[in-house]
Amino acid sequence: MNGPEITLEVAPELRLFVAHDRRLGRTAVTTDGSSTLGHVVESLGVPLTEAGQLLVDGCPVPASHIPGAGELVEVRAVRRPQPVPGAPLRFLLDVHLGTLARRLRLLGVDAAYESEDIGDPALAALSAKERRVLLSRDRGLLRRREIWAGAYVYSDRPGEQLRDVLGRFAPVLAPWTRCTACNGELAAADKDSVSALLEQGTQASYDVFAQCTACDRVYWRGAHHSHLEAIVADAVAEFGGTGSEAPTA
Ligand SMILES: [Zn+2]
């Protein structure tokens, strides 16, 4: 490129996306004089889903701004919690985020997930069709223009991933209301109505409390591993929620 030179300052939270030699403080960038600021930011490696306010010489500009010579551009991180206007808050998770999907469902958060790799174009199209925030650790996927909204998942550890998403989007938590296997909603059930689906040992030991309205999977008291109880308790303590529907047996 051989055009105007600008100075870019990327927020500390976003520097992991930028090449090592550009991570410290301000960096000079030569643009082509016709690309948008959004394109310039993306070509540095920062997904636009992660960029919050863009400032030129202290004033906010849209991503469509064409940078001119000598401008000082600041790229801020997204605001937390980040508002997602235009549809109920729901998510679509990339194929590598199965554990995160199950944990979000455990907390009652609508989290679609395909365990088979349907490919980037299909995932992006699904995000657009169902207006779901696409969660991924794949920057290339997040750059696809057709996604409705997206967010980079910063950690590769499920516990940190969950805190990242809950802190960023502040979804309403309703633990034990959603099927962890298929994302369907749970409805109250009693043992008699679902006894045919239960093994004998289960019938004797547990009280049924819910059944998935989508896949018929049955949930019963006492069957949750203690680590699931701990995940729910920690999330509710830090991010709120009713928590009152948890099985107590
Ligand atoms: Zn289900």
**Which pLDDT score is estimated for 233?**
94
Residue type, 220: W
- Rounded Cα distance between 91 and 151, Å, is 10
177 vs 174: CA distance, rounded Å:
6
Which pLDDT does position 121 carry in this prediction?
97
Q: Give the pLDDT score at 165.
A: 98
CA of 177 to the centre of ligand 1 (A): 11
Is 0.85 surpassed by the pTM of this model?
yes
Averages of pLDDT over runs of 10 residues in the chain (249 residues) are 86 91 83 95 94 97 96 96 91 97 98 94 97 97 95 97 98 95 94 76 72 92 75 94 49
Q: What's the CA-to-centroid distance between 56 and ligand 1, angstroms?
A: 49
Write the DSSP string, 104-168. HHHTT--EEE-SS---HHHHHHHHHHHT-EEEES-HHHHT-TT-SEEEE---SSHHHHHHHHHHH
Name the phi and psi angles at 172, rounded to 5. Answer: -70, 130
Separation of CA 71 and ligand 1 centre (Å)? 53
Beta bridge partners of 170: none
Q: How far is the CA of 127 from the centre of ligand 1 (A)?
A: 21
189 C-alpha to ligand 1 centroid (Å): 14
How far does residue 176's CA lie from ligand 1's centre (Å)? 12
CA of 153 to the centre of ligand 1 (A): 25
Give 83-137 pLDDT, tens digit per residue.
Answer: 998 889 999 999 999 999 999 999 999 999 988 999 999 999 999 999 999 999 9
Please compute Rg for the chain using Cα positions: 22
Quote the CA–CA distance of 92 and 137 in Å, as a whole number: 13
Q: Quote the pLDDT of residue 249.
A: 36
E strand or H helix that includes residue 239: helix 226-239
21, burial (CB in 10 Å: exposed 0-12, middle 13-18, buried 19+) = exposed
